[in-house]
Amino acid sequence: MTDKNELAQIGVVGLAVMGSNLARNFARNGNTVAVYNRSPEKTHALIEAHGEEGNFVPSETIEDFVASLERPRKAIIMVKAGKATDAVIDQLAEAMDEGDVIIDGGNALFTDTIRREKDVAARGKHFVGAGISGGEEGALNGPAIMPGGPKESWETLGPILESIAANVDGTPCVTHIGPDGAGHFVKMVHNGIEYADMQVIGEAYQLLRYGAGMEPAEIAEVFREWNSGDLDSYLIEITAEVLAQKDPETGAPLVDVIVDAAGQKGTGRWTAINGLELGVPITGIAESVFARALSSSTAQRSAAQEGQLPAGTIQELDVDKAEFIEDVRRALYAAKLIAYSQGFDEIKAGSEEFGWDVDPRDLATIWRGGCIIRAKFLDRIRAAYDNNADLPALILDPYFEGELEDLIDPWRRVVVAATQLGLPAPVFASSLSYYDSLRAERLPAALIQGQRDFFGAHTFKRTDKPGTFHIEWSGNRSLTQTD
Ligand code: NBP
């Protein structure tokens, strides 16, 4: 239904797949929605196909669109991230009045969001960068929403976002994350964790397929079973679906027909870059980004396959199949736990760096529904931070420490098996090294400090007394205290 005279509670600019689904979600949940797209065809198409789903107020100019909103006006931008977003923000800020709220629901880089918030605030309007997860399906049926921006905007926006968000046990999967770029920052790390979660599932599949010699349909059954335990999650569920799918053209398992070069749109890369900048070892996420990049290095991979790279002495898998499957399940759980632990570390570091005061319990709550990493496991994470909001690391929560007791040996066995079989398992293996590094009493960093002092007089600290020291390496090798 459309009514040009009715004022809308919310507006959506950009009516490609995400924007039109989000607009329909608002309308289906009883909100009157103003809609506008640069090229009017998309607006007409939306109204024609779905106008009966609720109250839409379509406009063909940004001025009409703004005029169709009730005050304080609230408009969500769902256009291509980057320059298009800046262009639309500028148009909206021009046409809107003081106190109105511009929301960017695209996948913006959080530093862009910080900049935009400053610019829009200087023009007297509010700007909210909101991470929206769940893809097309989530946008239509209930996404997880991570809004940043000023707290006062949340007061006006909260109820309307709650009306369309996913809902778990009566709790909507949306909350105010923190000021300026906080929402887009946590959405970025969410996507980084998603990369790692998908990669560890991929590594488990690879081991079952080429280590245990199982067919995709059989592995699909294993994943179905895993989905009823600790690993219960959307990603495990869809993995079983994908593995069970046959290619409609050839009848072969679909996974065998798909080119093994994984794409990416950049949020995983941003998470890894930010982890490096903040000095947080997000090894699981970074390895997952590298694994996608390597998979897409097609020319190099072909050359390596045709070349003479030795495989070494490959050992056959010599274990009971059922035991191996269970070991892989536990290794997957362990590596996933590390990836989440590292992701939460990055959020904590980002929150401290930018003064956002992000509460990890909020994330464990709102990620339980709507988003791609939704999982039962998030209830455990929530409980961990409920018990101790200042956990030094998620894996140091007593529940997870107890889980790791049961996971550690299978995890080591699987990494050994992958190595012996010559099968790549970059996240399984690097997560185990991270875990062993974290618990090691002594790290080779002492030697590195010695090397740094040798070639660059970078100094070192001593274990037995305070102060900063240097050895006269090119002289008499005496010890001097530099401060
Ligand atoms: P796209 O990212 O494909 O963007 C297409 C939309 O941007 C169209 O409405 C287009 O208008 C508009 N647009 C462009 Br391009 N340049 C414009 C400009 N200069 N001024 C005004 N409008 C402009 O759409 P999408 O896939 O629906 O995604 C929207 C946002 O949501 C993106 O930021 C994306 O990263 C994010 N997101 C997507 C997903 C997903 O699963 N697809 C998930 C989560 C978040 P036109 O019709 O006139 O060309």
pLDDT tens digits, 141-175: 999 999 999 999 999 999 999 999 999 999 999 99
* pLDDT, tens only, 252-281: 999 999 999 999 999 999 999 999 999 999
371 alpha carbon to ligand 1 midpoint, in Å? 19
Answer with the residue of higher pLDDT: 3 or 27. Answer: 27
In sequence order, the 6+-apart residues with CB closer than 8 A to the CB of 418 are 203, 207, 211, 424, 425, 428, 429
Looking from the CA of 98 toward its CB, the CA atoms found within 13 Å total 2
110-122 vs 182-206: helix crossing angle, rounded to 10: 160
Report the distance separating Cα 237 and Cα 232, nearest Å: 8
Q: Return the SS3 of 278.
A: helix
Q: Which two tokens stand for residue 119?
A: 């610019």
Catalytic option among 74, 117, 125, 194: 194
Identify the pLDDT of residue 41: 97
For the cut 80, the answer to whether the pLDDT of residue 430 exceeds it is: yes
For the cut 80, the answer to whether the pLDDT of residue 445 exceeds it is: yes
CB 321 within 8 A of CB 212: yes
- DSSP symbol at 53: G
The DSSP result for 329-364, as a single string, is HHHHHHHHHHHHHHHHHHHHHHHHHHT----HHHHH
- 306 among known catalytic residues: no
Confidence band of 3 (pLDDT split at 50, 70, 90): low
CB 222 within 8 A of CB 243: no
Identify the pLDDT of residue 32: 97
Question: End-to-end alpha-carbon separation of the chain, Å?
Answer: 75
* pLDDT, tens only, 65-111: 999 999 999 999 999 999 999 999 999 999 999 999 999 999 999 99
For the cut 70, the answer to whether the pLDDT of residue 361 exceeds it is: yes
Q: What are phi and psi of 229, to 5 degrees?
A: -120, -145
Q: Whose CA is nearest to atom 18 of ligand 1?
A: 84
For the cut 80, the answer to whether the pLDDT of residue 18 exceeds it is: yes
Pocket test for ligand 1, best of 21, 22, 38, 264 (most atoms within 8 A of CB): 38
Cβ of 45 less than 6 Å from ligand 1: no
Identify the pLDDT of residue 6: 80
Q: Which two tokens stand for residue 51?
A: 């106008």
Identify the pLDDT of residue 158: 96
Report the distance separating Cα 334 and Cα 182, nearest Å: 28
Identify the pLDDT of residue 84: 97
Report the distance separating Cα 395 and Cα 210, nearest Å: 30
CB 234 within 8 A of CB 373: yes
Instruction: Count Cβ atoms below 10 Å from residue 5 Cβ, excluding itself.
Output: 6
CB 369 within 8 A of CB 167: yes
For the cut 80, the answer to whether the pLDDT of residue 4 exceeds it is: no
Report the distance separating Cα 6 and Cα 3, nearest Å: 6
Identify the pLDDT of residue 426: 98
Q: Which two tokens stand for residue 471?
A: 């050895």
Looking from the CA of 102 toward its CB, the CA atoms found within 13 Å total 31
- 63 among known catalytic residues: no
Looking from the CA of 440 toward its CB, the CA atoms found within 13 Å total 12
Torsion, Cα 255 259 260 264, to 10 degrees, reads -110
Cβ of 81 less than 6 Å from ligand 1: yes
Confidence band of 1 (pLDDT split at 50, 70, 90): low
* pLDDT, tens only, 306-325: 999 999 998 889 899 999 99
Evaluate the omega torsion of the peptide bond into residue 72 and state whether it is cis, within 30 degrees of 0: yes
Q: Which two tokens stand for residue 459?
A: 């100094």
Evaluate the omega torsion of the peptide bond into residue 360 and state whether it is cis, within 30 degrees of 0: no
Percentage of residues in the chain having pLDDT higher than 90: 97
Instruction: Count Cβ atoms below 10 Å from residue 312 Cβ, excluding itself.
Output: 9
108 alpha carbon to ligand 1 midpoint, in Å? 11
Residue whose pair of structure tokens reads 């991570």 in the numeric block: 146
Catalytic option among 125, 187, 336, 348: 187
Q: What is the mean pLDDT of the chain?
A: 96
Report the distance separating Cα 50 and Cα 56, nearest Å: 9
218 alpha carbon to ligand 1 midpoint, in Å? 39
For the cut 90, the answer to whether the pLDDT of residue 5 exceeds it is: no
